[in-house]
Amino acid sequence: EQYNKFVIGVDSNQNWVKPGFVLTSMVKRVDNAVYQIIADLIKGQFQGGIHVYGLENDGVGYAMDQHNEKLIDPEALKEVEAAKQKIIKGEIEVTDAMAK
């Protein structure tokens, strides 16, 4: 706040921490992963192994709420959503820098 800069929260929604200065938060939707695993267990369909949760199954995302909605231009948000859909469709490749 003292430097009049924006920040982006990580892992959970941190928009509430400093309204007006947290541009958004990149969130890991562990709740969705746990829900899906429990649902699969109940149905007897759970398969052990590596499970990947990304944009396509709401495993990760960004937070928009009353704390940051006035900071994000609606046109910019449309562009972000368009890019998100292209990633989901495989039109934009997201690489794993840690895997190289």
Annotated domain spans of the chain: 7-71
Q: How many CB atoms lie within 10 A of CB 24?
A: 23
Q: What is the 3-state secondary structure (H, E, C) of 11-73?
A: ECCCCCCCCCCEEEEEEECHHHHHHHHHHHHHCCCCCCCCCCCCHHHCCEEECCCCCCCCCCC
Task: Give the pLDDT confidence score for residue 72 in this predicted structure.
Answer: 95
Confidence band, pLDDT 50/70/90 cuts, at residue 16: very high
Q: pLDDT tens, 38-82?
A: 999 999 999 999 998 999 999 999 999 999 999 999 999 999 999
pLDDT of residue 86: 98
How many whole angstroms from its chain centre is CA 21? 19
Neighbouring CB atoms inside 10 A of 6's CB total: 13
